[in-house]
Structure 1
């Protein structure tokens, strides 16, 4: 990677991988602000409307482990290209949906395709960039585009909705097709295996994938229908049974889909826990704040989306620098500082609610939240991927992305439950929801601070410490 040509090729590869990562993350939130327009045109009930958002998360979170393992076995570039092609096709089909079921189906397929492209893209990044500062910087850029895609998704969705709500579904297709056209000429070819290809663990796949699907469905359904609804607890019971069976299967398989020894890697396990918690807290806060700004303050969907834009700008500008710092000095300290800043932002929002001007409230809370998110997001990726070898990078990436998606779903369901129960307990709805998020953010800070420490210079990302 020392020649200018290689640097240029690596830079173009990074651009394509970051673009795909941005699209995957953007689609989680971009449709949210278009829901009123969708409901008006398609005549959807509120429960069906919620699944226009949740179907994407269901497919994304449910298939991530399968996507990561498939990429490790069948080739990172091959899986990335096929996944991106399906994503583009599903995006284009969104312009022709004419009913709730077709809309939900298109969103589900997009989520499933993202579950294959995201871990494959991160594994490709590790193979493109050698050890050292170049890899840390590339990882920071990759993390920043993913986080920015999620944070800025609402802004882009608000702009697209001015034209048509269908534009929120279709707008990623041209970018995906351009990326797909360039990727075969830029991304490294999959390595030829010297020995036989590892056998695919079908028993593991048919237990963990529906298990995760049921789990994500259960916690998502709880957000709309409550924890006592039959579909909610039925799905969670089924998920528990399948996931338990999965662990039994994996202990007996010669080449398991998820080698259980991977959970003994301290940095990876700690990073996954922190990822689920801090992303979940952010999703829960976004839920409460969005409703407050629109229902109480009276802001439009576009203005509400713009109120979160500062966080996205912070992530895009600062995340690459924080990734390099995490690589050089260890991720736990930076992770701790990042979660502390985010907790400060949530506490400021709770204390300033109904006391400060909404614009000032948004500004004062977004500064520490944005900087904290920019610190934490790349730090958990550096920590997670520093603990595995390259042949398990797809699986580790799938675990990490799954932690983000499932953590977001769990905390959102819990925040929704607090939000709904607050009036019956005599509490202010928004204050109760925000206080729950703030309290959980302090707990996340404590978990981050208890992470493994580096007693010497950390290993390069993608190479496990000895």
Structure 2
């Protein structure tokens, strides 16, 4: 049977053709490999460190580098798609993603490996929002689009869990297979996308300025901050190189704000930060995602280097934290509709720091069932309760015309929160596990404080009214 270019289903033609399903699975499949990129790196960290002779403070770049490329360039990626069109950008990103995966797997140089992670993060910044835009353009609003978004979200939620299992299995052979296996997958998706993604014409109403200066200063400030944290752990917090990196990061951040305030077509609309629910969602989700990945970074090193777990057992050990979100993804919208975002966010934000507080502070002898599993289960509950609620609260508080911009701002905070927290945890880890866990718990509690502000009657009513 020949596949034709997908046609937009509407009320008159509710049938889903093979081509339409094919397009949806291409988009969802790419969302899956974007989501698993973080978990595959986490499980493989000790093996990479042993092979390349990298310290913990350097290893964290494999996680924070990807998150920095994703979060720092997410807004720029959306602008690039608006100007150049969905199809060419999406296809190019898949090819670059495949090339970066292969280059990273073959690399014996830490700097090159980190650079490929950053490039893959940028590719995810291009494909993640573009996939949603293609769904919005191809599937008519109503049951067809809701079904498509459900499948897309389900694949994304499953990606982290799939990455844990795949990385655990492949790292047993070599960490290089862990970094290489996305390459053929991305190429297969490219071959299908070349046939299935419809051609599009850029919207004449879209911004015409790339705002490359804004993208460069935001990403540069984040990279310099991460570099300062790394240098501080290695050379001392008062070393000239450390202080200089912090100062340059602050200067670039100030320049970024100045550019966005004066640009006629800014990447980041700072006026959106005046919406309380959006700001609370961005800060709360950044704290949850960052503290979560920080905890998994610590747990990976502890379980493999101190408790003798294999990569496969480590991946299995993390599943109780990741799998619940995948299992409940199709029902999360109903949960939000019934209880409302503020309540679910507060419950999730309370579960996370409780889990951090229960995690063992050190030692090589530990019982997984008594000491590690309760933390993983509480983290799984936190994401089930708060993950969808954060996004709904972030986008529902603004006008429909501003929801895409609000979603981009929200996702930027989520990714940059992960980048900064993993860098901080990597910098503190040489001082002992206890200081890192204190930091992770403190950030989790900060997220809880932010969430509780949303339960104030006036604020909650304002969110519901929106």
Do these two structures clear the TM 0.5 threshold for a shared fold by scoring above it?
yes
| 1:453 maps onto 2:460 in alignment | yes
Alpha-carbon contact 1:152-1:308 (below 8 Å) kept: no
1:387–1:148 distance in 2 versus 1, CA, 3 Å = same
The residue that corresponds to 2:95 in the other structure is 85
Shift, 1:273, TM fit = 0.7
- Of 208, 211, 234, 2:218 maps to 208
CA distance in 2, matches of 1:224, 1:29: 26
Alpha-carbon contact 2:306-2:363 (below 8 Å) kept: no
CA distance in 2, matches of 1:233, 1:203: 24
CA distance in 2, matches of 1:224, 1:135: 50
1:204–1:51 distance in 2 versus 1, CA, 3 Å = closer
Write out aligned runs for 1:233-312 (5 A): 233-312=243-322
| 1:406 maps onto 2:416 in alignment | yes
RMSD: 3.5
The residue that corresponds to 1:381 in the other structure is 391
The residue that corresponds to 1:461 in the other structure is none
1:351–1:203 distance in 2 versus 1, CA, 3 Å = closer
Shift, 1:85, TM fit = 1.9
* Secondary structure at 1:30 match in 2: helix
Q: Write the deviation string for residues 149-204 of structure 1: whole angstroms up to 9, x where unpaired.
A: 33553432221122322211110112212222223444454455355853333443
CA distance in 1, matches of 2:391, 2:206: 31
* Secondary structure at 1:257 match in 2: coil
The residue that corresponds to 1:443 in the other structure is 446
1:194–1:316 distance in 2 versus 1, CA, 3 Å = same
Alpha-carbon contact 2:60-2:422 (below 8 Å) kept: no
CA distance in 2, matches of 1:62, 1:317: 30
Shift, 1:222, TM fit = 5.1
CA distance in 1, matches of 2:96, 2:238: 36
Alpha-carbon contact 2:360-2:371 (below 8 Å) kept: no
CA distance in 2, matches of 1:297, 1:235: 36
Instruction: Give ranges in structure 2 of 5+ residues lacking alignment.
Output: 1-9
| 1:155 maps onto 2:155 in alignment | no
1:218–1:430 distance in 2 versus 1, CA, 3 Å = closer
Alpha-carbon contact 1:120-1:394 (below 8 Å) kept: no
CA distance in 1, matches of 2:320, 2:392: 24
1:281–1:62 distance in 2 versus 1, CA, 3 Å = same
Q: Write the deviation string for residues 193-226 of structure 1: whole angstroms up to 9, x where unpaired.
A: 3558533334433433323333344445556666
The residue that corresponds to 1:462 in the other structure is none
CA distance in 2, matches of 1:244, 1:399: 18
Alpha-carbon contact 2:75-2:408 (below 8 Å) kept: yes
TM-score (norm 2): 0.82
The residue that corresponds to 1:105 in the other structure is 115
Alpha-carbon contact 1:55-1:105 (below 8 Å) kept: yes
Q: Write the deviation string for residues 321-353 of structure 1: whole angstroms up to 9, x where unpaired.
A: 113432565322222222222233223335999
TM-score (norm 1): 0.82
Write out aligned runs for 1:362-373 (5 A): 362-373=372-383
Alpha-carbon contact 2:397-2:463 (below 8 Å) kept: no
1:9–1:377 distance in 2 versus 1, CA, 3 Å = farther
CA distance in 1, matches of 2:410, 2:70: 12
1:129–1:340 distance in 2 versus 1, CA, 3 Å = farther
| 1:60 maps onto 2:70 in alignment | yes
Shift, 1:367, TM fit = 2.1
- Of 364, 370, 373, 1:360 maps to 370
1:135–1:30 distance in 2 versus 1, CA, 3 Å = same
CA distance in 2, matches of 1:338, 1:132: 30
| 1:322 maps onto 2:332 in alignment | yes
Q: Which moved more, 1:356-365 or 1:403-412?
A: 356-365
CA distance in 1, matches of 2:236, 2:386: 31
CA distance in 2, matches of 1:329, 1:135: 24
Instruction: Give ranges in structure 1 of 5+ residues lacking alignment.
Output: 422-428, 459-464
Write out aligned runs for 1:219-234 (5 A): 219=229, 227-234=237-244
Q: Which moved more, 1:252-261 or 1:167-176?
A: 252-261
Q: Write the deviation string for residues 383-437 of structure 1: whole angstroms up to 9, x where unpaired.
A: 223345677665444433321222123333444555444xxxxxxx444533442
The residue that corresponds to 1:17 in the other structure is 27
Write out aligned runs for 1:333-344 (5 A): 333-344=343-354
Q: Which moved more, 1:370-379 or 1:51-60?
A: 51-60
Alpha-carbon contact 2:103-2:116 (below 8 Å) kept: yes
